[in-house]
């Protein structure tokens, strides 16, 4: 979705509600992550005393392979984000600020980059996953094997 900011930039007090979803076929391009649901986006953009704020939350479900035992599992995520939207590139190096392309903001692109940054780099099916035996490959969550692992 592309957000048109024309009115928002111009009129103090203006408010736009955001509620949509990013479909899975768009998400497919972001390889490395298997989305098993669309990304639901809900929030608002508003102009308060001449400054345009964008607050939104996302929720979605990913399918992962556990880094230790390789088992496949699904996990639900939800995050909240807050930004100030500006046209002027000078301040845009600050994380809080998002630069629009004139009066337009590509919300899909922003949402996806925001949420990817929040995802943990290690994916475990459970915190105390015992993983696989390095010798026989048995899933040690399921059963102990007889290998002598130091």
Which residues of this protein are in contact with Zn ion, per CB under 5 A?
66, 68-69, 125, 129, 133, 135-136, 138, 145, 147
Answer left, alpha or beta for residue 54, where phi above 0 means left and psi between -120 and 50 means alpha.
Answer: beta
Distance CA 34, CA 29 (A): 10
Minimum separation from the CB atom of position 66 to Zn ion (A): 3
Using the minimum distance from each CB to Zn ion, give the nearer residue, 75 or 114: 75
Minimum separation from the CB atom of position 77 to Zn ion (A): 18
Minimum separation from the CB atom of position 37 to Zn ion (A): 22
Q: How far is the first Cα of the chain from the last one, in angstroms, to the nearest whole number?
A: 55
Instruction: Go through 26-37 and write b for each residue having 16 or more CB atoms within 10 A of its CB, e for each that does not.
Output: ebeeeeebbbeb
Using the minimum distance from each CB to Zn ion, give the nearer residue, 117 or 135: 135
Q: How far is CA 4 from the centre of its chain?
A: 22
Using the minimum distance from each CB to Zn ion, give the nearer residue, 38 or 131: 131
Minimum separation from the CB atom of position 33 to Zn ion (A): 18
């Amino acid at each position: 979705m592309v957000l048109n900011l024309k009115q928002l930039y111009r009129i103090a007090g203006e408010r736009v509600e955001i509620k949509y979803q990013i479909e899975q076929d768009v998400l497919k391009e972001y390889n490395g992550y298997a989305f098993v649901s669309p990304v639901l986006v809900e929030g608002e953009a508003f102009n308060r005393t001449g400054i345009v704020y964008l607050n939104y939350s996302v929720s979605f479900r990913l399918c992962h392979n556990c880094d230790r035992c390789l088992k496949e599992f699904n996990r639900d995520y939800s995050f909240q984000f807050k930004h100030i939207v500006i046209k002027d590139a000078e301040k845009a190096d600050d994380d809080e600020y998002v630069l629009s392309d004139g009066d337009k903001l590509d919300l899909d692109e922003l949402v996806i980059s925001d949420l990817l940054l929040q995802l943990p780099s290690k994916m475990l099916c459970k915190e105390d996953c015992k993983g696989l035996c390095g010798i026989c490959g048995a899933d040690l969550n399921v059963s102990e094997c007889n290998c002598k692992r130091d």
